[in-house]
Amino acid sequence: MASPLAQFEIKKIIEMEAFGYDISFTNSSLAMIMTVVFISLFMYLGLRNLEIIPSKRQSVVESSYEFISGMIGDNIGNEGMKYFSFIFTLFLFILVGNLLGMLPYSFTWTSHIIVTFSIAFFIFIGVTLIAIYKHGIVKFLKFFAPSGVPKPMLILLVPIEIISYLSRPISLSVRLFANMMAGHTLLKVIGGFVFVLGANSFIVGGILPLAFLIALTGLEIVIAFLQAYVFAILTCLYINDAIHLH
């Protein structure tokens, strides 16, 4: 039995290199491709025979569309619809990545900080550019100095605001990565208990940790959805901040 962290190991399947960088096709890339294929299949099957009165499959796809459009409408407003495709793709990509990771012998690519950080950093840069493009650099910088605050307080507040702004990509990425990694590690440890206790007590001892494992799997599936939702909704909030600059 492997270490609980062994499941996160990146294994090269096909070695590749470009411009001196390693771009090998790994188990993580395979899981990502599976995610893209799964989402495309889900969308393709749902939208194959489009009808005004939707079929069950079409309803599922349309309800995911409505879910995201509702989220954007509530958090950004109509101006946010420009970013619909991005948020929709982001949500489904993370959700399906999380859920496929729950399958035995699969790989959870969202449990890698470099992946979540890349996405979060891209969002951070994008949101900052949107804010500067929409309001100009001066107005954007005023964002760090809230209006109506006494001037001496600004000495304290501005650094806090800047740090909180800069920590956005970190908090966004660490939240997803840590949740996924912790969940999968826990499942692996409990799974180890089932095996060890069962082997030492003629199977009977394994029943309790097995029940616990099943319950935890359910919880992990909920967390998989929740983390994708949180990631998408925070992205919406950051875009809203960039558009409206309160």
Partner 1 sequence: MLRYTFLFYLLIGNTISATEEKGGMPQLNPESFSSQIFWLTLLFITLFLINHYFFLPKIKNIRRKRDETIQSYLDEAKKLNDSFNSLVEKMNKEFEEVKNEQNALIKKTFDENKKIFDKKILEINNDFEDKKNKLNSDIDENKKMITNELPKLCVDLSDKLYEKIIGEKIKGSVSDFKKIIGDDK
Binding site for partner 1 (CB under 8 A): 1-3, 5-6, 8-10, 12, 16, 18, 21-26, 28-29, 32-33, 35-36, 39-40, 43-44, 47, 50-52, 54, 58, 61-62, 65, 84-86, 88-89, 92-93, 109, 111-115, 118-119, 177, 181, 195-196, 199-200
Which C-beta is closer to partner 1: that of 168 or that of 188?
188
Least CB distance to partner 1 at residue 29 (A): 4
Least CB distance to partner 1 at residue 230 (A): 18
Which C-beta is closer to partner 1: that of 98 or that of 140?
98
Which C-beta is closer to partner 1: that of 199 or that of 208?
199
Least CB distance to partner 1 at residue 225 (A): 19
Strand pairing report for 17-18 and 12-14: unpaired
Least CB distance to partner 1 at residue 244 (A): 24
Q: What is the DSSP string of the chain?
A: ---TTGGG---EEE--EETTEE--EEHHHHHHHHHHHHHHHHHHHHTSS--SS--HHHHHHHHHHHHHHHHHHHHT-GGGGGGHHHHHHHHHHHHHHHHHHTSTT---GGG-HHHHHHHHHHHHHHHHHHHHHHHHHHHHHHTTS-TT--HHHHHHHHHHHHHHHHTHHHHHHHHHHHHHHHHHHHHHHHHHHHHHHHHHTTTGGGHHHHHHHHHHHHHHHHHHHHHHHHHHHHHHHHHHHHHH--
Which C-beta is closer to partner 1: that of 22 or that of 74?
22
Contacts of 40 (CB under 8 A, 6+ apart): none
Least CB distance to partner 1 at residue 26 (A): 6
Least CB distance to partner 1 at residue 140 (A): 26
Which C-beta is closer to partner 1: that of 16 or that of 103?
16
Which C-beta is closer to partner 1: that of 35 or that of 140?
35
